[in-house]
Amino acid sequence: RPLLFVSCQVLKILRILSKGKDFLPKLCPGGTTGNLRLDYDQGVLLYKKDSCYVQILLKQVEVSLKCIESQRLIEQAVNTTRDLITLYSNTTDGTLIGDYEKLPGCDCQLILLQVIVYALRICAVMLKDIVAKEDTPTSTRLLATCRSGILILYQCVLRDVE
């Protein structure tokens, strides 16, 4: 399993690459629902040869977020959450379906949203602790990140209602 900073740096690269056309179909074989899981007891990620590369990375980022949370690494939490939000925004169009329409049977979007929610929870807890002490540029960045994430989630709710 890669170190914490490796997964986060790969996410940053993926975020940049996601601006390209047909980004997700190149990394996701589609139809790979359910062949990826995290074994929390052993601390390993179990996947098969045909697993979605995006899902594998997102699960590794989720493990990284657990370390970021336990070590209270605020800047890393903000940067990772922003990278996740930007990745989601880059891979969806105005209808919030975008490239995911081309991936029948894959849980990329669901996994990405789950990891975004987890990252937002970490940022919200850190924000609560910082705001109680003082108003700083870090708390401003945390607040902006939380607002961006909530906007994404709100748009998802609107899409699902329609």
CA distance 63 to 78: 16
Q: What are 52-75's pLDDT values in tens digits?
A: 888 888 988 998 999 999 999 999
Query: What pLDDT is stored for residue 95 in this prediction?
Result: 44
Q: What are 118-141's pLDDT values in tens digits?
A: 999 999 999 988 876 777 888 889
Q: What are 84-114's pLDDT values in tens digits?
A: 999 998 887 644 444 455 555 677 888 899 9
Domain limits of the chain? 4-161
CA dihedral (141, 145, 147, 148) in degrees, to 10, reads 130
Report pTM: 0.84
Which among 36, 84, 86 is positioned nearest to 64, based on CA atoms?
84
Q: What are 5-36's pLDDT values in tens digits?
A: 888 899 999 888 888 777 777 777 766 555 66
